Structure 1
Amino acid sequence: MLAVAAVALHPDSPLDGLDIGDRPEPTPPDGWTTVEVRAASLNHHDLFSLRGVGLPADRLPMILGCDAAGVTAEGEEVVVHAVIGDPAAGGGDETLDPRRTLLSELHPGTLAQRVAVPRRNLVPKPAELSWEEAACLPTAWLTAYRMVVSRSGLPAAGGGSVLVQGAGGGVATAALLIAKAAGHTVFVTSRDEDKRRRAAALGADAVFEPGARLPARVDAVIETVGAATWGHSVRSLRPGGRIVVSGATSGPNPPAELTRIFFLQLSVIGSTMGSRGELADLVGFLARTGIRPPVQEVRPLAQARGAFERLAAGDVFGKLVLVPG
C-alpha cells in the first residue's frame, strides 16, 4: 500500500528522511482492526518524528501520521483516536497511562491507505462532517478541546474570557473557534499581521501583537508558545485565573514568574491530547455548533512532500490534509 514514512532521522533537515512509497499492509493483533483511510492530516508531531523526537532509529521505517478518518471493514465511518494506551492504567483516562504512545511512535501511523488501530480507539463520524474535516480532529483539535472545555475552568454555560497565544498554530486556531462556540470572549495574539487578520475573521473579539496590554484581565490563557509569551500570559490573568499549557514551541523553560503566581493565586495546568471520550464529545460539539476546522489545502497522498515542505516553512493557517487515491 502507499504510505508516507520516516526512513532516516535528520534533526536539522527532517525532510531528508521522508519517503513516499509502498509499505506492507497492516496486520492488526487481537482487539485491533484495520481502517481504510479516507483522509489524514499533518501535525508538527510528524516533523518532530522526522527529527528523532519520540522516534528512535531502531523503529525505522515508521509510517507517519496521527490523524485520520475512514471506514472499517464492517462499513462503519469513523474518526481514529491516536492515543494508544490503557484507560485502566490511567484511572479511566488513557492519556495518564505512563506507557501511552501516539500512532506513528510505536505503531504505524495514519499517512497511508490503511491503518491498524485498537477497536476502542474508533469514534463514529457524523454525516455532518466531511472526511477532510473529521481527519483534522484527533490531535490539534482534541488538544484544544481538552484545554478549553476540560482544563481551563471556564464556565460551561459560556460568559468567560480567554487569551489564546500564537494565532495560526493548529491548537491555537482550534482553541479560538471552540472557545467562541462555547460562548466565551476570546482575545488572540500573533506576531504576524496576516494571522491576526485571519483570527479576527474567525471570530476573535480582539487581536493583538504579542505582549500587548489587553482591555481586561482574562479568566484563562491557552498557552502553546512557551518562553516567548509566558510573561504576558501570567500578567494577563485575573486573580485566581488559569494558564493551560500544552506546548512550548519557542522554548520549554520560561521565567517562572513565581511571585505573581502565588500572590494572585494563579494556577498552571498541564494538558496533553485528550481521551477517546473527549474525542467523541468534540465530534458531537462540532456537529451541534456548526464550527469546522479550517482546511488550508488538500493533496493526494502521493504528493505529501509538498505538504510537509509547507508545514516545515510555517506557511500554514489551517490544516493540511492528505487523501489516498
Structure 2
Amino acid sequence: MYAAYAARFDTDSPLAALAVGERPDPAPQDPDWVTVQVRASSLNHHDLWSLRGVGLTEARLPMILGCDAAGVDPDGNEVVVYPVVADPTDPRGVSILSENHPGTFAERVAVPRANLVPLPAGMPFTDAACLPTAWLTAWRMLTTRGRIDQADAVLVQGAGGGVATAAVALAVASGKRVYATSRDAGKRERIEALGATALEPGARLPERVDVVIETVGAATFDHSMKSAAPGARIVVSGATAGYEPKVNLRRVFAMQLEILGSSMGTPGELADLLAFCVAREVRPVIDTVYGFSQVEEAFARLESGEVFGKVVLDHTK
C-alpha cells in the first residue's frame, strides 16, 4: 500500500528523512484489532519530531507516520480513529500511532476496535481528521482540566498552531471571552476573525482570566501567571519555547492558582468533542488541504512555521 514513513532520522533536516512509497499492509495485533480504510488524515508537529528521532527508535524504522485519521471500518461504518493505544512495552503504558504501531499516513491503518468513534452524519472526513490529537488536546485542556464551564474569560498563548487555534475556536464556541496572543500580525487578524481578542505576546489584558491555555512554555509563562485571576487554572500541554520557566511561588499560593498538566484525551472525550462540534456548528480551522499524493508538500508547509490551523491530507486524491 502507498504510505509516507520515516526511513531514517535527520535532526537538522527532518524532511530529508521522509520517504513515500509502498509499505506492507497493516497486520492487526489480535482479534480485537481492525483495519480502517483511511479517507483523510492530518499532520502534527509530532510527525516532524519523529523524523528527527524524538520518541521513535531506530529499531522501529521504517515507521509509517501520522496520528490522526478518519475513514471506513470493515463493516462500512464511517469512523474517527482515536490514536492512543495501550502498550505494555512503553514506559507510559500507552503509545500514539506512529510510535510503536504504524500510523495513519497510509491507505489503511490497523487499530483496536475500541479506538473507533462514530463519525457524525454530514461531517466531512477532512474535518474529522483534524480532531483526534490537536483538537482533542485543546478540548481536554479547556473542559476536563480547565473547567471552562466555571470560567468567564480565557487566555490562549501562541495561537496559530493546531492546539492553540483549536482552543480559541472551542472557547469562543463555548461563549467565553477569549484573548489570544501571537507574534505574527497576520495570525492576529485571523484570531480576531475567530471571535477572540488578539494581542501581542506579553500585552496587558483588559481583565484577568479564569483559564490559561499554555502551549508555549518559558517565553510566555510569566505573562500567563500575571494574567490569571484568583483561583485560575493554568493548563499546560507543551513547551515549544522552553520548559524551565521561572515561577513566582508567592503568586501561586497568594492567588490560589492551579498549574495543571494535560495530554491528549480519552475516547469518551473525543466523542464529546465531535458532539460539541456538531451541536455548536464548529468546524476545525484548516490551513491547507493536500491530496495524499502531495504528502511531501504538506510536510514542507507544516515545517515552514507559517501554518494557521491544521494541515490535512485527503486520501481520496
TM bin (shorter chain)? over 0.9
**CA offsets 1:181-224 (integer angstroms, 9 cap, x no match):** 111110111111001100000111x1110001000100010000
Q: Does 1:10 align with 2:10?
A: yes
Q: 2:162 corresponds to which letter in structure 1?
A: G
Residue 109 of structure 1 and its aligned partner are, at CA, apart by: 0.2
Matched with 2:22 is: 22
Aligned to 2:294: 303
- State the partner residue of 1:188: 180
Work out the CA distance in 1 between the residues paired with 2:285 and 2:247.
34
- How far has the Cα of 1:128 moved from its partner? 2.8
- In 1, Cα distance between equivalents of 2:216 and 2:138: 14
Quote the Cα distance in structure 2 between the aligned partners of 1:197 and 1:296: 14
Match runs of 1:238-253 below 5 Å: 238-253=229-244
Question: Residue 12 of structure 1: CA displacement?
Answer: 1.3
- Does the 8 Å contact 2:156/2:179 carry over to 1? yes
Q: Does 1:237 align with 2:228?
A: yes
SS in structure 2 of the partner of residue 240 of structure 1: strand
How far residue 257 of structure 1 moved from its aligned partner, in angstroms, is: 2.0
Per the TM alignment, residue 85 of structure 1 is displaced from its structure 2 partner at its CA by 2.1
Cross-structure match for 2:163: 171
Distance in 2 (CA, whole Å) between partners of 1:300 and 1:153 is 38
- Secondary structure of 1:108's counterpart equals coil
| Partner AA of 2:297 in structure 1 | G
Residues 248-287 of structure 1 aligned to structure 2 (within 5 Å): 248-287=239-278
Shift of 1:154: 2.3
Deviation per CA, 1:132-171, whole angstroms, max 9, x where unpaired? 0000000000000000111112226xx6111000110100
Which blocks of at least 5 consecutive residues in structure 2 are unaligned? none
Distance 1:55 1:108 in 2: 12
Indicate yes or no: 2:111 matched with 1:110: no
Q: Which residue of 2 aligns with 1:146?
A: 140
Question: TM-score, normalised on structure 2?
Answer: 0.96
1:92 is matched with none
What fraction of aligned residue pairs are identical, expressed as a percent? 58
CA–CA separation in structure 1 for the residues paired with 2:289 and 2:18: 19
**Conservation of the 8 A alpha-carbon contact between 1:146 and 1:278:** yes
Tell whether 2:65 aligns with 1:64: yes
Q: Please report how far the alpha carbon of residue 306 of structure 1 lies from its aligned counterpart in structure 2 after TM superposition.
A: 0.8
8 Å contact 2:157–2:215 — kept in the other structure? yes
Counterpart contact for 1:181–1:289, Cα < 8 Å: yes
Instruction: Decide whether the 8 Å contact of 1:239 with 1:265 is kept in 2.
Output: yes
- Measured in 2, the distance between the counterparts of 1:264 and 1:319 equals 36
Conserved? CA contact 1:162–1:219, under 8 Å: yes
Q: Is the 8 A contact 2:172 2:194 kept in 1?
A: no
In structure 1, runs of 5+ residues without a counterpart are 90-96
SS in 2 for 1:198: helix
Number of residue pairs aligned between Structure 1 and Structure 2: 313
After TM superposition, the score normalised by the length of structure 1 is 0.94
Aligned partner of 1:115: which letter?
A: V
1:200 is the counterpart of 2:200 = no
**AA in 2 matched with 1:181:** A
Q: Is the 8 A contact 1:128 1:287 kept in 2?
A: no
Tell me the amino acid that sits aligned with residue 170 of structure 2.
I
Q: Deviations over 1:97-154 (max 9, x none)?
A: 9311000000000000000000000000012310100000000000000001111122
1:77 corresponding residue in structure 2: 78
Tell me by how many angstroms 1:14 deviates: 0.7
- Do the aligned partners of 1:40 and 1:132 also contact (CA within 8 Å) in 2? yes
2:95 is the counterpart of 1:101: yes
Give 2:183's aligned amino acid. R
Is the Cα contact below 8 Å between 2:166 and 2:309 reproduced in 1?
no
Counterpart CA distance in 2 for 1:42 and 1:229 is 25
Structure 1 residue 29: Cα displacement: 2.3
Aligned partner of residue 55 in structure 1, secondary structure = coil
Q: Distance in 2 between matches of 1:281 and 1:155?
A: 14
1:314 alignment partner, SS class: coil
Q: Distance in 1 between matches of 2:200 and 2:93?
A: 39
